[in-house]
Amino acid sequence: MAVDGTAARIAAVTLLGAVLDDGQQLSQAIDAPDGPLAKLPPSERARAQRLVLTTLRHIEQADRVLKPYLRKTPPDYVLNALRLGVVELAVDGGAAHGVVNAVVDLVSSGNRTGHLSGLANAVLRKVAATPEPFAKLPPQRMPQWLRQPLVHRWGRNVVEAIEAVQAQTPPLDLTPKTAMPDIDGATPLPTGSTRLAQATQVSNLNGFATGDWWVQDAAASLAARLLDAQAGETVLDLCAAPGGKTLQLAATGAQVTAVDISSPRLARLRENLTRTGLTANIIATDALHWQPDALFDAVLLDAPCSATGTMRRHPDLPFIKDDSDIPALVDLQTALIDRALTFLKPGGRLVFCTCSLLAQEGEDQLTATLARHPTLTVERPTLQGIDPDWITPDGGLRLRPDYWAELGGMDGFFMARLRLPA
């Protein structure tokens, strides 16, 4: 196997094609048993993933840099190889000679693209001769179907700040089971998570093998903290996979039931329960058609949504999604909220959350829920480390990627805690 990065670059260009040209979700292309990463050693696999993620965060800038040098658009494979090369030069600061030669080799060896190797060489040499090619370019913009409502709601400055965070490689956040062990380079966050600014091999970190923590974005961890499960309580985690919130709930000493419609996704939760020594009752079923044997003290519902709040970690989403499925998602969220309320004891509490930036899946969903269920009470968050400005007038918690921008940002979430009358 090549050790000069050739295999990783070939895999990265192939993955770019899967996302940009075939509309495939990056995680599915990465995990495909016969995919471009399947036979790579771990170091090359990690390099390929880093290359494709970085390139996806800078496609718009790369295309603007390339445009003056291309009289017509080259074949997809060649264009994606050029994009990767531009990003390596502009973002990674790769040595010009090595990057140019590597991309030329990619084009030369491509299926029916060898005749364009001279073009690749000429274009990238011109780019390499430009100091800081991205210096005067704004960060990559969100797709218009998402950007427009966010500008209308929060203003252009906020949206540009979100885009600036999304252009960065996100840090790694960890949630401790109890106390976080010492990890080199780790920084405690105000809300109780721990952050590592640099990418690393997770399984090599102190405390992984002993199950002292799990990987979970700091914003995502706040939903379980908002539910505030207590030892001995019966707690239901709906739409639980891949299970970070289940682990949080189980760590409180609560009796946790985790329900998800996807058996394969629940397999990861089982693995993490084993690693951390925590327990939960796992049920693979459709929550809309499931009936528990007894009611619960509390329910956490992380409902299916557009995932627009996670683009900083999943930069493929702007290229494979649009807003066509949002009405159906909103309807599903509504049905799940109403169903979840029937699982609660009198006086019980529900935390509803979505990893979405859109009001339809957050603030508006809360307003509609209160209109359907006027006896519900919204309990305003009192969590450690949150800014009072993050709390909405209705008592929900709105989290945005530009919050903690100087620390690396956070995923976008909306969440609210609702209580039934006793």
Q: What is the DSSP string of 154-166?
A: H-HHHHHHHHHHH
- One domain for residues 190 and 262: yes
**Is the distance from CB of 76 to CB of 87 less than 8 angstroms?**
no
Average pLDDT over residues 341-362: 98
Per-residue confidence (pLDDT) for residue 2, from 0 to 100: 38
Lowest mean pLDDT among 122-131, 194-203, 366-375: 194-203
Per-residue confidence (pLDDT) for residue 111, from 0 to 100: 79
* Domain boundary, last residue among 95, 128, 161: 128
What six digits make up the tokens of 38?
A: 């399947």
What percent of the chain clears pLDDT 90, i.e. is strictly above it?
93
Q: Is 370 among the domain residues?
A: yes
Average pLDDT over residues 371-394: 97
Average pLDDT over residues 400-419: 97
Average pLDDT over residues 181-198: 94
- One domain for residues 117 and 189: no
**Rounded Cα gap, residues 44 and 280, in angstroms:** 36
pLDDT range class, residue 93, cuts 50, 70, 90: confident
Q: Is 22 among the domain residues?
A: yes
CATH number of the domain encompassing residue 252: 3.40.50.150
Helix (H) or strand (E) holding 128: helix 117-128
In total, the chain counts a number of residues equal to 422
Dihedral (Cα; 213, 214, 220, 221), 10-degree rounding: -20
Q: Is 234 among the domain residues?
A: yes
Q: Is the pLDDT of residue 3 over 50?
A: no
Work out the number of other CB atoms within 10 angstroms of the CB of residue 335.
13
Per-residue confidence (pLDDT) for residue 26, from 0 to 100: 96
Q: Is 136 among the domain residues?
A: no
Q: Is 166 among the domain residues?
A: no
pTM: 0.94
C-alpha to C-alpha distances, 323 to 143, 167, 319, 320, 367, nearest whole angstrom: 10, 22, 12, 11, 21
- Split into its structural domains, the chain has a count of 2
Q: Is 355 a catalytic residue?
A: yes
- One domain for residues 124 and 187: no
- One domain for residues 92 and 197: no
- One domain for residues 369 and 262: yes
Dihedral (Cα; 343, 349, 350, 351), 10-degree rounding: -160
Q: Is 165 among the domain residues?
A: no
Alpha helices in 167-217 (DSSP H): none
Work out the number of other CB atoms within 10 angstroms of the CB of residue 29.
21
**Rounded Cα gap, residues 263 and 270, in angstroms:** 10
- One domain for residues 391 and 265: yes
What six digits make up the tokens of 298?
A: 């509390």
- One domain for residues 342 and 408: yes
CATH number of the domain encompassing residue 11: 1.10.940.10
189: left (phi over 0), alpha (psi -120 to 50) or beta: beta
Domain hosting 387: range is: 173-419
Q: Is 147 among the domain residues?
A: no
- One domain for residues 193 and 338: yes
The CA R_g of the chain, rounded to the nearest whole Å, is 23
pLDDT range class, residue 1, cuts 50, 70, 90: very low
Each residue's pLDDT tens digit, 407-416? 999 999 999 9
Average pLDDT over residues 156-176: 97
- One domain for residues 58 and 200: no
- One domain for residues 123 and 179: no
Q: What angle separates helix 144-154 from helix 156-166, to the nearest 10 degrees?
A: 130
- One domain for residues 194 and 71: no
Average pLDDT over residues 78-84: 97
What six digits make up the tokens of 374?
A: 């006027």
Selection from 344, 346, 46 nearest residue 200 by Cα = 46
**Rounded Cα gap, residues 352 and 191, in angstroms:** 19
**Number of alpha carbons in the 13 Å side-chain half-sphere of residue 87:** 28
Q: Is 332 among the domain residues?
A: yes
Each residue's pLDDT tens digit, 42-53? 889 999 999 999
- One domain for residues 253 and 314: yes
**Is the distance from CB of 214 to CB of 194 less than 8 angstroms?**
no
Per-residue confidence (pLDDT) for residue 109, from 0 to 100: 86
Per-residue confidence (pLDDT) for residue 4, from 0 to 100: 60
Each residue's pLDDT tens digit, 238-293? 999 999 999 999 999 999 999 999 999 999 999 999 999 999 999 999 999 999 99
